[in-house]
Amino acid sequence: MLDSAIEQRAAWLRAEIERHNHAYYVLDAPTIPDAEYDRLFRELQALEAEFPALRTPDSPTLRVGAPPLKEFTSVTHGVPMLSLNNAFEEAEVRAFDARVREGIELANGEVDYAVEPKFDGLAISLTYRHGLFVRGATRGDGATGEEVTANLRTIRAIPLRLAGEGWPETLEVRGEVLMLKAEFERLNTRQREKGEKEFANPRNAAAGSLRQLDSRITAGRPLTFFAYGVGLGAGSLKVATQDEVMQVLAAWGFPVTAERRVVRGIAGLMDYFAEIGVRRKSLPFDIDGVVYKVNRLAWQDQLGFVSRAPRWAVAHKFPAEEAITQVLSIDVQVGRTGAMTPVARLQPVFVGGVTVTNATLHNEDEVRRKDVRVGDTVIVVAVMPEQRPMRPGRDLFELEPLHPPFALPTVCPECGSAVEKPADEAIARCTGGLYCPAQRKQALWHFASRRAMDIEGLGDKLIEQLVDTGLVHSPADLYRLDLATLAGLERMGEKSAQNLLAAIEASKKSSFARFIYALGIRNVGETTARDLARHLGTLDKLIAADEAALQEVPEVGPVVAASVVAFLKEPHNRSVIDALLAAGVHWPESEPEAAGPRPLAGKTLVLTGTLPTLKRDEAKALIEAAGGKVAGSVSKNTDYVVAGEEAGSKLEKAQELGVAVIDEGQLRALLTEN
Ligand code: IVH
């Protein structure tokens, strides 16, 4: 039994510590000396250690991080996280304002805009239930992101429990995680002193810190947060403007930037842009522009969205920083799938917070189109042909270029195999497959990478040696390496060899999703691998699935399905898989996802027209959560067409094929069926 006096003391400590956190990290106005704060913190830690029942989910002691995760899980946002359209010129801002006024049918007068900096960090979503922080996720593709709750808990500027009152039952707060410039400098100094890798800029440092499976590492990184909007729960805020939304968020304990304002019309927007442009360098955080949002929420609703961006907001970006340098050479890199990419090696130049030494030229057509040549002067990669080095031509009075136009080699520079470039594709590929050492090295690197089999210590240089000495041909060979062989390699001591062997051994215990991802199937990224694992459950089922069966998996379309089938049909790939299993690679078997009722399992729906209350993305999310799949076009495999107002050709097609047509009400009925 817990003494209620102890409980009270713990509750008081929690509230007190969070009050000081808020003062320090949100208001930037510390209220007590560090030593006193530390004392309170340690007292709470000690109490919780003695009486584990005191550990509440909003305890500030959770801010020191939790044991590492094996992988991130993916989460579906309650309301999709949108992106913003960009404007670079005043004319584009004027066009935006004109569209806004047209959309709200405002013939005369000017629109009020809530304006704020465009933070150069990472977008995240924080979910609160009954005022308690329960989940945090990255933006991901906008519909689903990665759950990073434990990492976000370590950010002191993020409230674990909301202040004030009147919060909706479920609230999603959207904002940006970032690292202040001064903190970034301090972090890099520390990294340098420890002999560890420095970060290129605050954004990369913030991203690298947030995407740690071990939140104790995140806890040691000086991250902060600014809120800029609300997802789920926005409808139940009792406010009429964007500005009031921000005030409510501040009252609930969220940091909001002091740089925000409400301005009127184009003149107000352009003045703000100029003002922030001047102050950009002296702001404590990096920004890459400013954001303009129609202030009145009723107008935001009326304006709505086009594809993934709101019509009521725009990002006015600062011009990209530029620097001039020279092309030293153009090399060809051979990727994991044989894709040959020309890369310009540049005279190193510092621009936009990073030192640029290479610029990928994407593909041969691009190089030709831009006509980049060795010796050219470039603005990062925009070619300046007027400065091309020239020499006297055959005709005495004419000059000709010193260097010829770039041409891809006709054989792979790495393995001598033929190069193939289908007429309808921009990318040339080496046909060597895993015979090509470059492709093999990339495949191994991918296999061992952190999000795949996570073999720590198997870096580029080592892979290079293992492949070049013929010790490793396929990923399965990794599991045959022994201590003597490894210790005999260059720059490899006995201790590192032991560590590597241990890491290889540990990687045998994996997950089905990681295994699929590690295989390096073309078009199968991490998210797709996870979807496949979740929906098929076992390797046997994956191997047995044909293209139609694969397309039953949400988000898997014909291209991915074809890649998976082609990969698994290849005997060579099958024998690598067999060898990996024989070597002891395994994962917990799970049944295909069965959580919750899935009334639309196996059904394909097509959305058309404007539904009365559901936005397109919302309808899609609901259907997928119920196990259904949303397709882009109507075919005889479509089960239902959900039609709203102004439904067009898809509705006609449905009628022609005799596919059932339903409205939003009927869709909602289907979703709740059991
Ligand atoms: S509002 C519906 N406000 O910009 C509007 N976004 O392209 C949603 N961003 O990755 C965004 N600062 O993380 C908004 N003050 C700000 C922002 C901001 C940075 C980022 C956001 C997203 C991107 C949108």
Q: How confident is the model at residue 394 (pLDDT cuts 50, 70, 90)?
A: low
Choice among 118, 317, 370, 603 that is catalytic = 118
CATH of segment(s) 414-595? 1.10.150.20
The residue nearest atom 16 of ligand 1, judged by CA position, is: 118
Best-predicted range by mean pLDDT (262-276, 488-502, 644-658): 262-276
The residue nearest atom 6 of ligand 1, judged by CA position, is: 118
Residue 175 beta carbon below 6 angstroms from any ligand 1 atom: no
Q: Any idea where the domains of the chain sit in the sequence?
A: 4-51, 86-317, 324-401, 414-595, 604-671
Chain mean pLDDT for the chain: 88
- Quote the CA–CA distance of 136 and 150 in Å, as a whole number: 8
Q: How confident is the model at residue 389 (pLDDT cuts 50, 70, 90)?
A: low
Q: Which residues pair with 329 in a beta bridge?
A: 345
Burial class (CB in 10 A: 0-12, 13-18, 19+), 636: exposed
Fold for the domain defined by 604-671: Rossmann fold (3.40.50)
Q: Which of 46-55, 176-185, 350-359, 469-478 has the lowest mean pLDDT?
A: 350-359
Q: Which residue has the higher pLDDT, 18 or 405?
A: 18
pLDDT, tens digit, 9 for 90 and up, residues 594-634: 456 778 888 999 998 888 888 888 888 888 878 888 888 89
What tokens were used for 477?
Answer: 């060979």
Q: How confident is the model at residue 378 (pLDDT cuts 50, 70, 90)?
A: confident
In the chain, % of residues over pLDDT 90: 50
Q: Which of 19-23, 304-308, 494-498 has the lowest mean pLDDT?
A: 304-308
Catalytic (active site) residue 370:
no
Q: Quote the ligand 1 centre to 202 CA distance (angstroms).
A: 17
Residue 291 beta carbon below 6 angstroms from any ligand 1 atom: yes
Determine the pLDDT at residue 522: 87
> Do residues 300 and 242 touch, judged by C-beta distance below 8 A?
yes
Determine the pLDDT at residue 595: 54
Look up the CATH superfamily of 4-51: Helix hairpin bin (1.10.287.610)
Sign of the Cα torsion 145, 147, 152, 153 reads positive
pLDDT, tens digit, 9 for 90 and up, residues 496-546: 889 999 999 999 999 999 999 999 898 898 888 988 998 898 999 999 999
Residue 217 pLDDT > 90: yes
Residue 385 pLDDT > 70: no
CATH of segment(s) 86-317? 3.30.470.30
**Closest ligand 1 atom to the C-alpha of 123?**
13
Q: Please give the angle made by the CA atoms of 117, 63 and 156, to the nearest 5 degrees.
A: 25
Entry pTM: 0.59
> For residue 294, what are the contacts with CB-CB under 8 A and spacing of at least 6?
100, 104, 111, 112, 113, 114, 242, 300, 303, 312, 313
H-state helical runs in 139-263: 149-153, 181-193, 202-210, 215-219, 242-251
The residue nearest atom 14 of ligand 1, judged by CA position, is: 228
pLDDT, tens digit, 9 for 90 and up, residues 159-173: 999 999 999 999 999
pLDDT, tens digit, 9 for 90 and up, residues 59-70: 999 999 888 888
**Closest ligand 1 atom to the C-alpha of 176?**
13
pLDDT, tens digit, 9 for 90 and up, residues 35-52: 999 999 999 999 999 999
- Quote the CA–CA distance of 208 and 460 in Å, as a whole number: 20
pLDDT, tens digit, 9 for 90 and up, residues 401-430: 777 778 888 888 888 888 888 777 778 888
Residue 229 beta carbon below 6 angstroms from any ligand 1 atom: yes
Q: Which residue has the higher pLDDT, 672 or 446?
A: 446
Structural domain 324-401, CATH architecture? Beta Barrel (2.40)
Q: How confident is the model at residue 125 (pLDDT cuts 50, 70, 90)?
A: very high
Q: Which residue has the higher pLDDT, 246 or 196?
A: 246
Of 170, 165, 163, nearest in space to 135 by CA: 170
